[in-house]
Chain A
Amino acid sequence: MDGMHDLGGKQGFGRIRYSPKAQTYHAPWEKRVNAMTGLAVKRGIINMDEYRHAIERMEPVHYVSASYYERSLTGLATLCVEKGVVTQQELERLAQGAFPLSRPSAPGRGNAPERERFRPGDRVRVKEEFVPGHIRMPGYIRGKIGVVVRETPAYPFPDAHAHGVEAVDEPTYDVRFRAEDLWPNNADPAFVHAGVFQSYLKRVG
């Protein structure tokens, strides 16, 4: 989905709050949320693709205004409700107030019917696809041409795995793009690489 989470290349953001002594957590509840996510994965209640998608499905205004761990909490709680671990009413009773959850999921999809095997050096184009469910194709590479630099081992296909749709694992390709091709006349010169699932790619002749 073309959601708020898909931030690569978005403009208007200011300086990074960088410090060499940066922290991972800023409050004890943040680490507890992080740990609960791990517990839910370990127990097989959720998988990482479902979790990422549950965060992406947050109301856009909530997504941008929430901290990182509030987004984690919202995604995890949403899945716990959707999977019948707890109800939203029970969470709100325990929290003594409203407990906003993410919006419902759109349908997922299986692997592309025809997938090609690529080799390093192959020129590929990212398909111009617009899917309502989970996808791990950042919008900034859609329709763009790049060069394969590496094939990595097969992974669960996120577009299916986040939705309980049956699919086969497929390789991803590290694809090198020129920043100047991604944002013509408006990017610092660099190569930008993304890990792109086989289903998202087609060969360029």
Chain B
Amino acid sequence: MADTHHEHKTPAAVEKRAAALEAALDAQGMKPAAHIDDFSRTVEQEWVPQNGARVVAKAWTDPAFRRRLLENGKNAVAELGLTMPVHHRHLVVLENTPAVHNVIVCTQCSCTAFSIIGMPPDWYKDFEYRARVVRESRTVLREMGLDLPPQMEVRVWDTTADTRYMVLPLQPPETVGWPEEKLAGIVTKDSMIGVSRL
């Protein structure tokens, strides 16, 4: 719907364009400001990586839960009271082992299981990560501080449909026997994306 005579004019500052859209939605009675407050609260308090960390810690300590999690991620996380947006119809949990490393990406936009592992970090949405990690996985991971041995199998998962992925990191051996809550404390968002191992 671009009106061609506008294309060469200097755009208004992006903050002003964002405010203009907000004012337009407000004029339609859509109450964007109230929704923005709710959304901020949700992002800060509900869609946090501590959710995924609880899932991981439980999977490390409860073999039956781990099996259910690998079988049907969405149902298993629901046992912990965790929900996903309606369009995320499926959660696939990818198990790291001593011989296999998983890493997730969305090459076409920024799809993530954000209600479970938290909102995607800026670099996850950048062109560099989207373009390179599928083709140069080991090089990219090494640049990000994760140097994988050549014999380790690397599996990259491109989120091209509305199935969402999270990595189940390998439990560090020195933490075996820790209580679930303490284990959850060591699980990071990056380890559930797969750009680090714990």
Contact = CB atoms under 8 A, between A and B. Distances in A.
B180 interface: no
A105 to B, nearest CB: 9
Given A23-B121, A85-B24, A95-B16, A9 B135 contact: yes
Interface string A25-55: 0110101111110111011000110001001
A111 interface: no
A29 B122 contact: no
A128 interface: no
Interface in A5-32: 5-11, 13-20, 22-24, 26-27, 29, 31-32
A107 to B, nearest CB: 15
Interface string A84-114: 0110101110111111111110000000000
Contacts of A81: 1
Given A94-B20, A94-B23, A35 B128 contact: no
Interface residues of B, number: 80
Contact of B12 (A8, A11, A95): A95
Contact of A39 (B32, B144, B157): B32
A16 B144 contact: yes
Interface in A43-75: 43, 47-48, 52, 55-56, 59, 64, 67-70, 73
A167 interface: no
A153 interface: yes
A205 interface: no
A73 B40 CA distance: 17
**By CB atoms of chain A within 10 A, which of B3, B89, B135, B159 has the most?**
B135
